[in-house]
Structure 1
Amino acid sequence: MRLVSWNVNGLRSCVNKGFNDYFKETDADIFCVQETKLQEGQISLEYGEEYVQFWNYAVKKGYSGTAVITRIKPLTVRYGIEEDHEPEGRVLTLEFDDFYLVTVYTPNAKRDLSRLEYRLEWEDRFRTYLQELDKLKPVIVCGDLNVAHQEIDIKNAKGNRGASGFTDEEREKMTRLLDAGFIDTFRHLYPDRADVYSWWSNMPGVRDRNVGWRIDYFLASARLAPSITDAKIDCHIKGSDHCPVILELA
């Protein structure tokens, strides 16, 4: 089984930069998208009856949003992590026979860290939500988690210490999530692989020099580890300031 996750930073723009070609090339069983930045009716993706699509739109136009395109039909679908619909469209949960799939676009703390307090509170709610799901069946979490967890996950760790996405507080929340029974699938397979990133600033030359951050992940319940056959980062794929990440399961 192949699962793909991509923060497209505006799906309409990404479609004009090769999204459909990549979608068809990867032949994913489940394809997750974050930061769609659109409302219902603003795009039409035609992949035939083989796939079903689920969308969680933000109330604010041109902001956030998540989607899942899957050839495996889910048993249930949930929008948000609370019973009431979350206005930023950040989380979609699909229940399958053997696992839950959660795609997420984690709130950014903002450059001035003005949203850090909210971010940390959100992290606690999200971790509790995943733990409750994990009691029922294994969980796969994918998306833009907006944090480089370890120094190996960022090009300039020393210079970025304390910056949004690399604060001690955000990194500690990621540690707590992993300690709650989840694994970072890429690091599980490649603990020492360096200079592999999933996001680059749009400043000129940054991506060409590979000055990046690894902030897009596939996490999984630890008991799924024996089923993981590969975890990839398609660094060469453009169309967004993020690149796609892939998880393959036996």
Structure 2
Amino acid sequence: MKLVSWNVNGFRALQRKMDVYQWMLQQELDAFMIQETKLQADQIAFDTPDYFQYWNHAVRKGYSGTAIFVKRKPENVKYGMGIEEYDQEGRLITLEYPDYFLVTCYTPNSQRDLARLDFRLGWGSAFTRYIKSLDLEKPVIFCGDLNVAHQAIDLRYPKNNEKNSGFTVEERHDFSELLSAGFADSFRSLHPQSEGAYTWWSYRLNARERNIGWRIDYFVLSKRLNAAIVKAAIRHEVMGSDHCPIELVIDL
């Protein structure tokens, strides 16, 4: 099964840059999860004859949002975590299949001045509880822009960013707590020492060309699925957003 996740930084903007559906077909994807769609239900114009579509929109227009496109129809679909405070921004979709859950997630950014750090950490605690509750029923695969570089190896300049959004002690600890609850970072499972492996680059100062980036996009899965991982890759050559797609091939 081949899965791809991508923060597209505006789905309509991506459509102007590439034929998204043809790209999905060329990649032979079983599931395509996107984050930061930045649109409402009445703004969608995307025909996918070979895929079922599921969208979760933010109440605020032009902000956040997630979507999943899958070849195999799920048994159940859930939008959000069931917590009103965290379900206003369209950040979570869960698909249930007979043997696993598939989740796309767009974790809140704590913002440059950390003005939203408390909200971000509250979300993180609630999300960990939610994922653990799913894992009690069956294995989980979740992916998306988690807005945190977990370790120093996951960004170009760790020392300079220790107090910045996405690399604070609190955010990194939050992700560590999640992993310690029985989950694995698929990329690090296969590439524990890989450096310069980034998924996001600033649009400023030719950061992408110079590979001054951060790894903040992940496929995370229940540890008992680790042996089923065939491939975990960062598709840095694919353009269209300030993030690049990430890929997971898994034998389920």
Q: For residue 61 of structure 1, report the CA deviation from its aligned partner.
A: 0.4
The CA distance in 2 between the partners of 1:97 and 1:218, in whole Å, is 20
The CA distance in 2 between the partners of 1:9 and 1:30, in whole Å, is 19
**Structure 1 residue aligned with 2:8:** 8
CA deviation digits over 1:61-81, x for unaligned, max 9? 000000000001100000001
Q: Flag structure 2 segments of 5+ consecutive residues without an equivalent.
A: none
**Structure 1 residue aligned with 2:89:** 88
The CA distance in 2 between the partners of 1:83 and 1:178, in whole Å, is 22
**Structure 2 residue aligned with 1:56:** 56
**Structure 1 residue aligned with 2:200:** 199
> Residue 14 of structure 2 aligns to a residue in which SS?
helix
Please give the residue correspondences for 1:212-231 in structure 2 after superposition, counting only pairs within 5 Å.
212-231=213-232
**Structure 2 residue aligned with 1:41:** 42
Structure 2 counterpart of 1:8, one-letter code:
V
Q: For residue 216 of structure 1, report the CA deviation from its aligned partner.
A: 0.2
Q: For residue 11 of structure 1, report the CA deviation from its aligned partner.
A: 0.2
CA deviation digits over 1:82-137, x for unaligned, max 9? 16581100000000111001100000000000000111111000000000000000
**Structure 1 residue aligned with 2:27:** 26
Q: For residue 21 of structure 1, report the CA deviation from its aligned partner.
A: 4.0
Superposed CA RMSD: 1.1
The CA distance in 1 between the partners of 2:195 and 2:53, in whole Å, is 35
Structure 1 counterpart of 2:174, one-letter code:
K
The CA distance in 1 between the partners of 2:185 and 2:3, in whole Å, is 15
CA deviation digits over 1:209-250, x for unaligned, max 9? 000000000000000011110101100111000000011011
**Structure 2 residue aligned with 1:239:** 240
**Structure 2 residue aligned with 1:168:** 169
Structure 1 counterpart of 2:243, one-letter code:
H
The CA distance in 2 between the partners of 1:61 and 1:22, in whole Å, is 27
The TM-score, its normalising length taken from structure 1, stands at: 0.97
How many residues align? The count is 249
Structure 1 counterpart of 2:126, one-letter code:
R
Query: Identity of counterpart residues, as a percentage?
Result: 51
- Contact 2:21-2:48 within 8 A present in 1 as well: no
Asked if residue 151 in structure 1 is aligned to residue 152 in structure 2, the reply is yes
Farther off after superposition, 82-91 or 132-141 = 82-91
Q: For residue 47 of structure 1, report the CA deviation from its aligned partner.
A: 2.1
The CA distance in 2 between the partners of 1:83 and 1:30, in whole Å, is 26
> Residue 14 of structure 1 aligns to a residue in which SS?
helix
> Residue 43 of structure 2 aligns to a residue in which SS?
coil
CA deviation digits over 1:39-70, x for unaligned, max 9? 0121221221x211000000100000000000
Aligned structure 1 segments of 4 or more residues deviating by more than 4 angstroms: none
